[in-house]
Structure 1
Amino acid sequence: MLCGGVNPEMPADKNIQEICDKMKSYVENHAGKKYSVFKAKTYRTQPVAGTNYFVKVHVGGEEYVHLQIFEPLTCNGGEITLSKVELTKTQLFNLYG
């Protein structure tokens, strides 16, 4: 793991899904609609002064959204925050780069 570098894409696990579940209402507010499906599929991480998560989330049909989520270091306190949302993606779109 290289500090500041983005790690390879990995299949989403339970921890990533839990993080995405916390962000769902913010994403729905940003999109202006509700999602009946909100399943994290893949993710990448970037270690910084905490961790950036870049997550590809399936939201139904052929549609995906890409999320950038920041989790600060425990010693810095603070909450996990949604940094960026890219709407209307497909499964084939690259995940943030």
Structure 2
Amino acid sequence: MTDAKQILGGWSTEEPVNADVENICTEAGKQAGVHFDVCIPKTFRHQIVAGKNYLVKVKVGVEKYLHVMIFQALSCHGEKLTVLGVQYPKTASDPLEPFKIKH
């Protein structure tokens, strides 16, 4: 869902993961070569830019979470996914806040 009051280029509010975001996380994980025994996307935020940024809270174990930032290019560019960054370890109560990406 897109927050009707979302500022252009701003981040949405945190919401439960839907099937589309779950598929994006699965594909991004494959491309990044990331593997956890447990990998359950829980909540996400998004930002519309020249494509879409996703910030997702993912459960990866008992009381273990990570935050992953994923960029999805526009469909005219093949909807390519790029993992921009990961923060780990995190907890269930850690706020899902955009973070600086190290290049």
Same fold (TM over 0.5): yes
CA-CA distance at 1:27 after TM superposition: 6.0
CA distance in 2, matches of 1:88, 1:8: 22
Structure 2: where are the runs of 5+ without partners?
1-5, 99-103
Runs (4+) of structure 1 moved beyond 4 Å?
none
Aligned partner of 1:8 in structure 2 is: 13
Amino acid at match of 1:42: T
TM-score, normalised relative to structure 2? 0.81
Cα displacement string for residues 50-85 of structure 1 (whole angstroms, at most 9, x for unaligned residues): 100000000010000101000011123351110010
CA-CA distance at 1:7 after TM superposition: 0.5
Percent identical residues = 37
**Larger helix proportion, structure 1 or 2?**
1
* 1:22 aligned counterpart, secondary structure: helix
TM-score, normalised relative to structure 1? 0.86
CA distance in 1, matches of 2:59, 2:33: 12
* 1:94 aligned counterpart, secondary structure: coil
Amino acid at match of 2:17: A
User: What do you get for the CA RMSD once the two structures are aligned?
Assistant: 1.5
CA-CA distance at 1:15 after TM superposition: 1.0
Structure 1: where are the runs of 5+ without partners?
29-33
Aligned partner of 2:44 in structure 1 is: 43
